[in-house]
Amino acid sequence: MKILIIGAAGMIGNRLAKSILKDGLSKKAHDLTLFDVITPTLGSDINSITIKTGNIADPMVAKELIANKPDIIFHLAAIVSGAAEAEFEKGWHINAQGTWHLLEEIRKFHIASDGFYTPKFIYTSSIAIFSGPYPNAVDDDFAPNPETSYGAQKLVGEVLINDYTRKRFVNGVALRFPTIVVRPGIPNKAASSFYSSIIREPLNGNEAILPVSDTLRHWFASPRSAIGFLRHAAILDLTKLGKRRALNLPGVSCSIADQIISLEALAGAKISKLIKRQADPVIESIVTRWPQSFIPERATSLGFIADDSFTQIIQNYIDEEIEPGLFNSQ
Amino acid sequence: MKILIIGAAGMIGNRLAKSILKDGLSKKAHDLTLFDVITPTLGSDINSITIKTGNIADPMVAKELIANKPDIIFHLAAIVSGAAEAEFEKGWHINAQGTWHLLEEIRKFHIASDGFYTPKFIYTSSIAIFSGPYPNAVDDDFAPNPETSYGAQKLVGEVLINDYTRKRFVNGVALRFPTIVVRPGIPNKAASSFYSSIIREPLNGNEAILPVSDTLRHWFASPRSAIGFLRHAAILDLTKLGKRRALNLPGVSCSIADQIISLEALAGAKISKLIKRQADPVIESIVTRWPQSFIPERATSLGFIADDSFTQIIQNYIDEEIEPGLFNSQ
């Protein structure tokens, strides 16, 4: 079985590749191709994979990627929200046109194969397709109204996938990811960066800035759950989704106060002294527009599973990112 | 004031052009350009207008149309639902890429003019962006879920217009038209064609086929209302729409039984004998998926007005399409 991961140098794409190499995906043998704009790397030398680089906004790149006729395509490549807002043209070309080019190449190979080639196409969408006013919890029928270019681009991808799937050119699904925490590494300029920093930095013994109110509530999943969502989509019979191929995914709804309580429960009460409150009206104006909670009934009934709690999300980070012995709870 | 009508050879575009030539649009003098894939014609020789032809899917055509820097752009050009379903690639290129090219050219002129050029962009979307299951009446928050390529393409246009407007490159609105009846002319292959035929043909003394049940209810507006919607959008302060630039429009919710009662009220009880019931499961399977009614609160509060009743819709047809003396009611 041929598997293609587009966006394999990113945090999620890279873990997905490692997960497939380690645990497989189904009982069939795998032929894995990793693609990104920069060279995707894996922790160890792996001879069984193909590495490619290029710009997904270039139609010739899409043509080359699909020419190998992968059975399962994970399309995770995108420029992130802040970059898509700052660079309008680049965002639309990479995030929307890039997805369209891939679907067009799949359609051409589908037709050239007399309908035999209809790959699975697993696409990471985002809760950024939504905007307020929100109900307390967003249900599966809540209407998308993006108020960022990133959200609009992701929504266009969803609409394309739905129509290409309805015509049976592709067998697609769009997974609307929660905000993924705790991200390893260093703080970046994303408005959501602090959601990882306020956990990661104190665990590493460093101070973190909290730019918003403790009462702010949002919707989260761990990188481990993200990989689980993608793996589950890859083995799921997608016809169970019916004509609506976009899914709100499960997650954990949690206020910042709750997050700090979880952090203290795992690492001791003193750790939260490393979280420094420093209001940032710009960040606050962005993140207060995000949804607080979801009721993802369709995804849950289809077997998608998120973390149990925010404590579990932090524990995943400790297990995966902190070297044994460097962190001792309490 | 420069006005551009794209799709000016179509039924609505042509009437809009005539309406602007006859009654103006605002107090300013007008410089009207009509564009379509075939040459738009008007009833009389008009020297004050510019006629252009071309394919809106060609980026160079978009460039040429926008180079004249129209102040108001009516974008009505599209291949219709049945054609977009039969010719997938053509539908996506004309209906979605064509709209995108126009918005891109506007953005380029906006930037080249240091933000001075931000035209009104009035786009005809459609209730085809929706699918069931429906509530009895669809409200302004009902989520779009297209189940035709035409609906998907119109929705992509909406998402683009919203984002280009949010970035202030254009001042756009997407008007989700009801089904427009009574269309003049002859029956065509559109699934909705019978909705016009069952009124038009009997009034012209001819038989019409009714392929669906009398109880089927749907959402209608007359060509006269359609022109009213477009004219109102052209003079409306679109910032009143806030960040959601797509609007469900008002209309008349009416069952086929109600339509026949209205027809009989205007033209006598005997006229309905010209309506022959002949079930067509294919047409029925399509049109029973369409919404039955709307509660278009946002559009109504913004001053968009539809016909009073289905009787009014028929009366409009009689007034506009049947030569005086040829039809005598009762």
Q: What is the pLDDT of residues A178-232, one digit of tens each?
A: 999 999 988 777 788 999 999 999 999 999 999 999 999 999 999 999 999 999 9
Any domain includes A100: yes
Give the one of A141, A145, A159 whose C-beta lies nearest to B156's C-beta: A159
- Chain A partners within 8 Å of B107 (Cβ): 88
Residues of A in contact with B131 (CB under 8 A): 243
Interface membership of A170 toward B (CB under 8 Å):
no
Residues 6+ apart with CB under 8 A from B208: B187, B194, B197, B198, B200, B201, B202, B274, B275, B276
Domain membership flag for residue B55: yes
- In this predicted structure, the answer to whether residue B327 has a pLDDT above a threshold of 70 is no
ipTM (interface predicted TM): 0.94
Closest CB to B145 among A131, A147, A244 = A244
Contact A156/B152, CB-based, under 8 Å?
A: no
What are the chain A neighbours of B59 within 8 Å (beta carbons)? none
| Collapsed DSSP state (helix, strand, coil) of residue B225 | helix
The predicted pLDDT at position B120 comes to 98
H or E element, residue B277:
strand B275-277
A243/chain B closest Cα distance in angstroms: 8
Smallest Cβ–Cβ distance between B144 and the set A143, A163, A243 belongs to A143
**Has residue B260 been placed in a domain?**
no
Q: Is residue A87 part of a domain?
A: yes
Domain hosting residue A44, numbered range: 2-179+221-248
pTM: 0.95
B243/A131 Cβ within 8 A: yes
Q: Which pLDDT does position A285 carry in this prediction?
A: 86
Q: Does residue A24 have a pLDDT over 80? A: yes
CA distances from A307 to A224, A225, A249 (A): 8, 6, 11
Any residues with CB less than 8 A from the CB of A155 and at least 6 apart, and which?
A125, A129, A144, A146, B159
Token look-up 């010209």 returns: B274
Residue B63 falls inside a structural domain? yes
Q: Is B167 on the interface with A (CB under 8 A)?
A: yes
**To the nearest whole percent, how much of chain A has pLDDT over 70?**
97
**CATH, residue A41:** 3.40.50.720
pLDDT band at A330; cut points 50, 70, 90: very low
Q: Which residue of B has its CA nearest to A143?
A: B143
| Tokens at A206, concatenated | 């460093």
Q: What is residue A30's predicted lDDT score, i.e. its pLDDT?
A: 82
Known catalytic residues of A are: 150
Question: Is A152 within 8 Å of B167 when comparing Cβ atoms?
Answer: no
Q: Is A131 on the interface with B (CB under 8 A)?
A: yes
Least reliable range by pLDDT among A48-57, A96-105, A242-251, A318-327: A318-327
By CA distance, what is A152's nearest residue in B?
B159
Mean pLDDT score, B89-110: 97
Highest averaged pLDDT of the listed ranges A254-268, B189-203, B316-330: A254-268
Q: Which of A89, A90, A163 to mutate to test the interface with B (most CBs of B within 10 A)?
A: A163
Q: How many domains does chain B have?
A: 1
**Residues in B touching A141 (Cβ below 8 Å):** 143
Give residue-wise pLDDT tens across range B190-235. Answer: 788 999 999 999 999 999 999 999 999 999 999 999 999 999 999 9
From the list B131, B149, B159, the residue facing A156 with the nearest CB is B159
A162 touches chain B (CB under 8 A): yes
Cβ contact, residue pair B88, A167, below 8 Å:
yes
Q: Report CB contact under 8 Å: A143, B142.
A: yes
How far apart CA B59 and CA B100 sit, in angstroms, is 9
- Answer whether B142 touches A (CB < 8 Å): yes
Tokens of A239: 């016809």
> For B107, which residue in chain A has the nearest alpha carbon?
A89
| Inter-chain CB proximity A163 and B149 less than 8 Å | yes
What contacts A275, CB < 8 A, 6 or more positions away?
Answer: A198, A202, A207, A208, A210, A260
A111-144 burial, b if ≥16 CB within 10 A, otherwise e? eeeeeebbbbbbbbbbbbbbbeeeeeebebebeb
A to B CB pairs, distance under 8 Å? 50
Rounded Cα distance, B73 and B102, in Å: 10
CA distance A164 to chain B (A): 9
Residue B167 is nearest to which of A88, A145, A160, comparing CB atoms? A88
Report if residue A23 sits inside a domain: yes
Span A256-278, average pLDDT? 96
Residue A188 lies in a domain: no
Q: Is B243 on the interface with A (CB under 8 A)?
A: yes
DSSP 3-state assignment of B323?
coil
Tokens of B5: 């009508």
pLDDT confidence of residue B73: 98
User: Mean pLDDT over all residues of chain A?
Assistant: 93
Whole-number pLDDT of residue A11: 92
Give exposure, B79-99, as e/b (b: 16+ Cβ within 10 Å). bbbbbbbeebeebbbbbbbbb
pLDDT of residue B323: 77
d(CA B55, CA B157): 17
Strands B252-255 and B217-221: antiparallel
pLDDT per position as a tens digit, B166-180: 999 999 999 999 999
> Whole-angstrom Cα distance, residue A261 to residue A267?
10
Contact B215, B292 (CB under 8 A): no
pLDDT in tens, A30-47: 899 999 999 888 766 566
Determine, for residues A167 and B149 on separate chains, whether the beta-carbon distance falls below 8 Å: yes
Residue from B93, B159, B162, B248 whose CB has the most chain A CBs within 10 Å, to mutate = B159
Interchain contact A147–B (C-beta under 8 A)? yes
Q: Nearest-CA neighbor of A6 among A19, A17, A21?
A: A17
CB contacts of A159 in chain B (<8 Å) are: 146, 152, 155-156, 159
Does residue A296 lie in a domain region?
no
A35-78: pLDDT as tens digits = 999 988 876 656 678 999 999 999 999 999 999 999 999 999 99
Query: Which residue would you say has higher pLDDT here, A28 or B105?
Result: B105
Using CA atoms, how far residue A270 sits from A203, A205, A295, A316, in Å, is 11, 11, 34, 21
